[in-house]
Amino acid sequence: MKRMVLTLLALVLLAAPSYAGTKDIIYASESTAKSLDPHDTSDTYSGSIQRAIMQGLMGFDKDLHIIPLLAESYTFNPEATQFTFKLRKGIKFHDGTPFNAEAVRINIERMMTGKYKRSSLMKPVKELVVLDAYTVQFNLKEPFGAFVNAIAHPGSLIQSPKAIETYGDEVSKHPVGTGPFIFDEWVSGDHVTIKKNPDYWRGEVKVDSITFRPIPESGSRLAMLRAGQAQYIYPMPAELLKIAERDKKIDILKQPSIIARYLVLNTQFKPLANVKVRQAINYALDKQAIMKIAWGGAATQLDSILPPNLQFYKKQSAWPYDLAKAKALMKEAGYENGFEVVFITPNASNRLRATEMTQQQLKKIGITGKIQSMDIASFYNKLEGHKVDDTTPLPFIAFGGWSASTGDADWGTRPLLSTDAFPPSMSNFGFFSDEKVDGFIKAGLASADPKVREKAYADLQDYIWDQAPWGYLMVDSLVAAKSKKLTGIYPLPDGAFSVEAAELAD
């Protein structure tokens, strides 16, 4: 028996990777990677991993200010219909393919086919013109004031044209970029590993590898960090914050976000098509309790369809918790006896807990139903699989979240609330449609003048708030935790993260 145990232990040790003498980081997250093709990705977590491998012409700094990356500069005409980018020279993709205007053309024209989840970023583009080997010009169909933000969005990352040609849409599993890290391995549902790029054009990469591992249960993430089995965890479970703060080996990172949390209400089905029912839901939600219990207090109440730190935000009057008002509205709408729905949620601890609380609160006004929980990739696949003419017998209420990763009000509204944004083209998963809303969204893009755009988005926020397309909840406060030996990894306001400057002390 002793010999058998020793033999099994030897096999385990042989199977385990050896990290002696290397600097390797484990990043434990509640999320699971869904895709490594930036053009066909709709979740922030996958996009963050992609940004370690690939880069765009433009990008964002830690405060979501736009910065040049693969383009060194850009110009645009006064009408905001033409944008010209000068590209950097001497950069190569990880597979040795040179980065140039032709590589940009192949990527942009791929997005312009309309086949991919992020194709909408290039919807304004009429044509891309290669002016020379290192200059590209975007000619737009009409004025689009937020176009540089769209170029900086992680959905516009530039992939190796050789990889696109070799793998086609399977490039999702074979990402090749110009970034600080090279793709190494993806075991679906388990981990993604990237290794350092020894020839990175911006300078030395100071860690050997980073492994992104999904750990949906909050307590398990913290346990891994405390045991040294992970060096960075996100999100840090707020309800366990005091325990982490007492650990001298751990640093806590906190900052405001632009992540809105809300309930997606399936408005293609009665009774959720009824505005009084949607308003009743908002009165029935005890947002303060959800923030305190499910989110550990790491949130503020949503008081507009846009989070406060997003460009062109305008504050509205937050919906109060008023059960009597909610019941009266249900009666006015003809649903005094309630109705049944399906509650859909990712299985991450805080989201599941928030959905359970929502289920309990809405039961008080007669809205009942079972919860379907699943990993985040399956959750988005399920939402994206619904169609506008779906005949599913029960309407759904889903626990939604969105970060406007362009830093602009356009991306906080158009993909979620315009009639053109029904899945699979974009993320209007509740099929909300309103002609006035569509008009305000178009007005916000008709000019590059900030004053004109501010007026359009103010009007939009004033109008849509009472229409209650969502069950309004909260805005995340970002809380991450890391080993004191680790520096250079930090959360971004959109819920993404940067790992380019990661460094691990001995």
Q: Which of 391, 355, 374 is nearest to 263 (CA)?
A: 355
CA distances from 220 to 21, 60, 160 (A): 27, 31, 37
Residue located via tokens 């109008």? 463
45 neighbors 406 (Cβ within 8 angstroms): no
Report the run of H or E that residue 275 belongs to, with start and end.
helix 275-284
**For helices 349-363 and 218-226, what crossing angle results, to 10°?**
150
DSSP sequence for 177-244: -SSSEEEEEEETTTEEEEEE-TT-TT-----SEEEEEE--SHHHHHHHHHTTS-SEEES--GGGHHHH
CA 47, distance to chain mean position in Å, is 7
Tell me the C-alpha distance between 85 and 328, whole Å.
57
Q: At a CB cut-off of 8 Å and minimum separation 6, what does 235 contact?
A: 29, 30, 218, 298, 350, 478, 479, 480
Q: Of residues 18 and 481, which shows the higher confidence score?
A: 481
Q: Of residues 63 and 416, which shows the higher confidence score?
A: 416
Tokens of 415: 């993909």
Q: What is the pLDDT of residue 15?
A: 36
Residue located via tokens 């859909």? 344
Q: At a CB cut-off of 8 Å and minimum separation 6, what does 104 contact?
A: 57, 85, 87, 128, 130, 136, 158
Tell me the C-alpha distance between 285 and 283, whole Å.
6
Average pLDDT of span 389-396? 78
pLDDT band at 390 (very low <50, low <70, confident <90, very high): confident
Q: What is the pLDDT of residue 6?
A: 29
Q: Which of 414, 480, 351 is nearest to 145 (CA)?
A: 414
Tell me the C-alpha distance between 261 and 294, whole Å.
12
Q: What is the pLDDT of residue 330?
A: 98
74 beta partners: 85
Torsion over CA: 409, 405, 252, 190 (sign): positive
- How high is the mean pLDDT of the chain? 92
CA distances from 65 to 38, 110, 255, 361, 490 (A): 20, 27, 16, 39, 15
Q: What is the pLDDT of residue 237?
A: 84
Q: What is the pLDDT of residue 78?
A: 84
Query: How many C-beta atoms surround the C-beta of residue 217 within 10 A?
Result: 14
Q: At a CB cut-off of 8 Å and minimum separation 6, what does 490 contact?
A: 62, 253, 480, 497, 498
* Identity of the residue numbered 272: L
Average pLDDT of span 184-200? 96
Q: Taking the model in full, what pTM does it have?
A: 0.78
Is residue 296 scored above 90 in pLDDT? no
| Strand 299-301 relative to strand 71-76, pairing | unpaired
pLDDT band at 21 (very low <50, low <70, confident <90, very high): low
Lowest mean pLDDT, pick from 82-86, 153-157, 258-262, 391-395 = 391-395
Q: Which of 134, 132, 129, 149 is nearest to 82 (CA)?
A: 129
Q: What is the pLDDT of residue 291?
A: 96
pLDDT band at 7 (very low <50, low <70, confident <90, very high): very low
Cis before residue 415, ω within 30 degrees of 0? no
Tell me the C-alpha distance between 236 and 481, whole Å.
6
Is residue 20 scored above 60 in pLDDT? no
Full set of structural domains in the chain with CATH: 21-33+168-255+479-504 (3.40.190.10), 54-162 (3.90.76.10), 256-477 (3.10.105.10)
DSSP code of 119? G
Report the run of H or E that residue 328 belongs to, with start and end.
helix 323-332
| pLDDT tens readout for residues 424-447 | 878 999 999 999 999 999 999 888
Lowest mean pLDDT, pick from 230-244, 384-398, 436-450 = 384-398
Average pLDDT of span 198-223? 96
Give the side-chain half-sphere CA count within 13 A for 490. Answer: 14
Tokens of 337: 């006896």
Phi, psi dihedrals of residue 133, rounded to the nearest 5°: -60, -20
Average pLDDT of span 157-166? 98
Tell me the C-alpha distance between 335 and 281, whole Å.
12
CA 501, distance to chain mean position in Å, is 21
Residue located via tokens 């693969």? 70
140 neighbors 117 (Cβ within 8 angstroms): no
Tell me the C-alpha distance between 423 and 149, whole Å.
22
| pLDDT tens readout for residues 73-120 | 999 998 889 999 999 999 999 999 999 999 999 999 999 999 998 998
| pLDDT tens readout for residues 126-149 | 999 999 999 999 999 998 989 999
Q: What is the pLDDT of residue 3?
A: 34
Lowest mean pLDDT, pick from 9-13, 363-367, 439-443 = 9-13
